Structure 1
Amino acid sequence: FRDLPLGALSPVLPHSAGFCVVRFTEERPVSYFDFRDEILQELQEERLGEARVARAEQLADKYDWDLHEPGLRLLLEKGQPLAALKLTPEEERTPLFKFTGGQVPLGELLDQFKNRNINAAADSSTLVQLAERFLLQPYIFAAAARHEELIDREALEAVRQQLREEVVLSQLRQRKVVASITIAPEAMRRYYDEQTQRFHRRDQIDVAEVLVETEEEALALRRQIEAGADIAALAQKRSKRRGAQARGGVFPMEKTSDLVPHILAAQPGELVGPVQVHDGFSVFEIIRRLPGERIPFAQVRRQIGDILRRAGERERFQAYIETLRQQYADRIQVDQKQLAAALPDDFLTAF
């Protein structure tokens, strides 16, 4: 997407629901602060991913992770698209990788291909790369945990059982609920029109501020400003707020988080302070305030679709569970002791 010119049509691209083509019809400036949390999360996930890859490679060397050639030959001899391969139970148990204390069977790799809808045929190099991408980290981290005796066997079995139940529940939800939900464009537009405040950019507020150590200094600076001194010039020379000199003493409101409640209560042109904050005493003035605008529907269309889809999933899943309760009412037994242990006392006494 980053290299696609404005107005140009993209090639056919894979999509979670099939394939798509894309054309950018307009460029709009966006505020960094509107996407700051998403950017931070993406960077954190990227760093974490890099750390996992590096650690997995170290552990692979430590535990002699190695390709098992007979397993690779068996895959290549089949000569079918990966997700369509049919193996006997014995073939599924054939190792593809071996390492100290364990091995990775072919059946595990094929499950990964099917779950990820990987259907293309692959040469030996591609197969090995895909297999290590999907299987190296979980297997080698588990081997390291066993070797270091970090695993509580009973706790591990309890977690495995919980994961099995969650997988079954997730598959049931996908099959009976999620696959049947479609969100009409009219419903998305109606939600957008009704939620007038939800899809609205915050006001853009710029503040000239002087932050100093003591209240006496702040009072003296206020008197200078009231006598005609330029607050931005004073801030550039005197303020201890980080970045004040580079920014000319003027900050967007988001950069002065400890002042936000005071800023929101002030009027443009009003001199405020001294106000005690974390790093000292502040005197500030709002020099510009632009009212926030409604975010265009096209920019939040996908977000609205996700919101409505999740709401629809919850509603339909609850209805489906209620249907099951009625259908199997004669088979359902409630363990009152377990129920009492799981729920708070005030909840039980309310019924």
Structure 2
Amino acid sequence: MFIATPRSLWCAIALLALFGCAPDDPVVAQVGDVALTKAEYLRFVERLPPGLQSEDARDHLQSLVDQELLLQEARARGIEQSDEVRYQLNALVRKQLSQRYQAEVLAPQVEVTPEEVERTFVDMGFDRERLFARILVRQQRDVDRVLQALHEGKPFAELAQRFAANDLFAPQGDGVVGWIGRTQAQRFAIPPQTFLSLPVGQVAEPLPLAGGWQIYRFVEDRTADKASYAEEAASAAHREKWQSRLQIEVETLSRSLNLQLDHGGLQALLAEPNLADSLAALPLYRFDGGAIPLGEYLHDLRSIGFRGALQDSAQVVSLARAALLPAYLMTAAAQRRGWDREAEFAEWRERKRKALVLQQLTKVETATKAIPSEEEVAAYYEANKTRFRTAESVHINQLLAPTREQAQKLREALANGSTVSELLARPGVETHGDPHDGALRLRKVVRARYPQLVDAAFAAEIGEWDGPVEVLDQFAVFRVRQKEGGDIQSLAQARARARGILEARRQNELMDALIQRLRAERASQVALFAESL
């Protein structure tokens, strides 16, 4: 849509286009007193998602103008300067600058020696594997019965046999899953301390799992192969050293930036849990070059999931030191280095600011108008039931080999009676699934990464080995164990999603209406210069 303007304004804009910008960056649109240049237009188009791309450059230019109209409307409503926008933008800036500070200043100082990896390998229990056996039960009463039977001396394997159908990971029916290390223990919900300290033969406290309980013990211990856990031990050693270095840096910056707790702000925060607007700007902490206002402190806590009431000064300080102060202090250190004044950062910050302003304008414009009634949600569900299905998935056992020929030999070995665990012990045989039986759950959402495997698995019959199929740079054979999903959901199950669809649709309609109104109201203030594109 190209909007005519009065002759005098048009002439002024034309002169601005000719003389107000560099020759290689001409003005392509004027919206009030804001001139939009070709460089801004190109950056805008570059970031459009594929679904919004158009072959007509004028469509993109109009979208850029519409964005500016919305930004000016937000400015007129006071949204641009609102606390919500300011707090969110400050949080994004802190995240960007503190992450860069960590990457460029701290990371080069954290190097792990082979001796430190060796010490971690032993101290954290990577040097031991334990033969894991369990009994999976569905009901609480079965937990009590199994524990009572074990107390009376019934053999663990005999009791496991009664519930063998519940456990696909213990193929022999005796409850023995196999040898596991510290890393695999986490996959079975076993707490690290229990893995390290539970005596052989002793039954652990039952663990609640999705759909039941796990009663378990360790049958035997053995020394782990160092090579099998070298990567995990190195990662753990690096994490430990990184946390230590980060803590030192925070303490160093606290001193160099003269960090001080403001006791007046602290008392005001504790005295008024529902902070009044007049108190939001009071500082909780001060440091050279900045402060942490009470309002921003509370906003930051909410953004990381804190919802409770602040109890006392110790809790306020503890939360700040654990979750907030590191980012504030590293941001201040980054600003001392001038990183926030770099052109690339300034462009990034302005882009984020505009996005937050538009987001908040949308929230204000549609907050109460976009909510559908229960009747509307139910009607939409009834008219679109087939859209609301449970997620489809396929459970498989998978083996991977470097070549198609080797994968075919694996399939032949399986047909001749070899087990998955036996084949996984062979050199060069891998899996994306569980390291013991190759168990893997596939959803259609991963088709983009594994197209041939997903298509083949969803088409295959249950219980039959299939393949080879190409998977990235390897070849897979697989067996479908179970298929689930694809059923139409009830209204109760689909209600939240149906409401979300209607809200999004109504939100788009309301924002489209706002854009149309702004175009009409400010037509005399807008001029487009498509010939400069």
Q: Structure 1 residues 111 and 180 mapped into 2: Cα distance closer, same or farther (>3 Å)?
A: farther
Q: Structure 1 residues 73 and 29 mapped into 2: Cα distance closer, same or farther (>3 Å)?
A: same
SS of the counterpart of 1:73?
helix
The 5 A counterparts of 1:253-292 are: 253=442, 257=450, 259-268=453-462, 272-278=466-472, 281-286=475-480, 288-289=482-483, 292=486
The 5 A counterparts of 1:298-309 are: 298-309=492-503
Match of 1:315 among 509, 529, 533: 509
Q: Which amino acid in the other structure matches residue 142 of structure 1?
A: T
Q: Structure 1 residues 103 and 274 mapped into 2: Cα distance closer, same or farther (>3 Å)?
A: closer
SS of the counterpart of 1:246?
coil
Q: Structure 1 residues 146 and 241 mapped into 2: Cα distance closer, same or farther (>3 Å)?
A: same
For the Cα contact (< 8 Å) 2:463–2:481, is it kept in 1? yes
For the Cα contact (< 8 Å) 1:215–1:281, is it kept in 2? yes
Q: Which amino acid in the other structure matches residue 190 of structure 1?
A: A
Q: Structure 1 residues 114 and 152 mapped into 2: Cα distance closer, same or farther (>3 Å)?
A: closer
The structural deviation recorded for 1:184 is: 1.6
The structural deviation recorded for 1:288 is: 4.8
For the Cα contact (< 8 Å) 1:84–1:119, is it kept in 2? no
Residue number in structure 2 paired with 1:336: 529
> Is residue 109 from structure 1 mapped to residue 303 from structure 2 by the alignment?
no
- Mapped partners of 1:97, 1:162: distance in 2: 29
* Greater Cα offset, 164-173 or 300-309: 164-173
The 5 A counterparts of 1:236-251 are: 236-239=421-424, 240-242=429-431, 246-247=436-437
- Mapped partners of 1:141, 1:220: distance in 2: 56
After superposition, the C-alpha distances for 1:303-329 in whole angstroms (9 at most, x for unaligned) are: 332332222212111212211222232
The structural deviation recorded for 1:181 is: 2.5
Match of 1:177 among 351, 360, 366: 366
- Mapped partners of 1:219, 1:134: distance in 2: 53
- Mapped partners of 1:236, 1:121: distance in 2: 53
After superposition, the C-alpha distances for 1:131-174 in whole angstroms (9 at most, x for unaligned) are: 66786355323212123343334455555555554444344322
- Mapped partners of 2:511, 2:466: distance in 1: 54
- Mapped partners of 1:125, 1:104: distance in 2: 19
> Is residue 98 from structure 1 mapped to residue 282 from structure 2 by the alignment?
no
- Mapped partners of 2:510, 2:413: distance in 1: 66
Match of 1:86 among 251, 264, 278: 278
Q: Structure 1 residues 260 and 143 mapped into 2: Cα distance closer, same or farther (>3 Å)?
A: same
Residue number in structure 2 paired with 1:202: 392
TM-score, with structure 1 as normaliser: 0.58
The 5 A counterparts of 1:1-351 are: 55=246, 58-64=249-255, 68=260, 71-73=262-264, 76=267, 79-81=271-273, 83-84=275-276, 86=278, 96-99=284-287, 101-104=288-291, 108-110=293-295, 113=298, 124-128=313-317, 136-159=325-348, 161-193=350-382, 194-207=384-397, 211-212=400-401, 215-216=404-405, 229-230=416-417, 233-239=418-424, 240-242=429-431, 246-247=436-437, 252-253=441-442, 257=450, 259-268=453-462, 272-278=466-472, 281-286=475-480, 288-289=482-483, 292-330=486-524, 332-336=525-529, 340-341=532-533
- Mapped partners of 1:28, 1:245: distance in 2: 21
Structure possessing the higher relative contact order (Cα contacts under 8 Å, 6 or more residues apart): 2
For the Cα contact (< 8 Å) 1:201–1:295, is it kept in 2? no
Residue number in structure 2 paired with 1:8: none
For the Cα contact (< 8 Å) 1:60–1:140, is it kept in 2? no
After superposition, the C-alpha distances for 1:77-120 in whole angstroms (9 at most, x for unaligned) are: 79555522636xxx95x754333x41316xx3235558969997
The structural deviation recorded for 1:177 is: 1.7
Q: Structure 1 residues 146 and 288 mapped into 2: Cα distance closer, same or farther (>3 Å)?
A: closer
Q: Structure 1 residues 56 and 153 mapped into 2: Cα distance closer, same or farther (>3 Å)?
A: farther
SS of the counterpart of 2:285?
strand
TM-score, with structure 2 as normaliser: 0.41
- Mapped partners of 2:243, 2:501: distance in 1: 32
For the Cα contact (< 8 Å) 2:403–2:475, is it kept in 1? yes
Percent identity between the two aligned chains: 24
Q: Which amino acid in the other structure matches residue 72 of structure 1?
A: H
Gaps of 5+ in 1: 1-26, 31-47, 342-351
- Mapped partners of 2:244, 2:211: distance in 1: 35
- Mapped partners of 1:219, 1:102: distance in 2: 66
Q: Structure 1 residues 68 and 215 mapped into 2: Cα distance closer, same or farther (>3 Å)?
A: closer
Q: Which amino acid in the other structure matches residue 103 of structure 1?
A: G
For the Cα contact (< 8 Å) 1:56–1:136, is it kept in 2? no
- Mapped partners of 2:395, 2:401: distance in 1: 22
Q: Which amino acid in the other structure matches residue 522 of structure 2?
A: Y
SS of the counterpart of 1:179?
coil
Root-mean-square deviation (Å):
4.8
For the Cα contact (< 8 Å) 1:82–1:110, is it kept in 2? no
* Greater Cα offset, 198-207 or 180-189: 198-207
SS of the counterpart of 2:430?
coil
Q: Structure 1 residues 136 and 54 mapped into 2: Cα distance closer, same or farther (>3 Å)?
A: farther
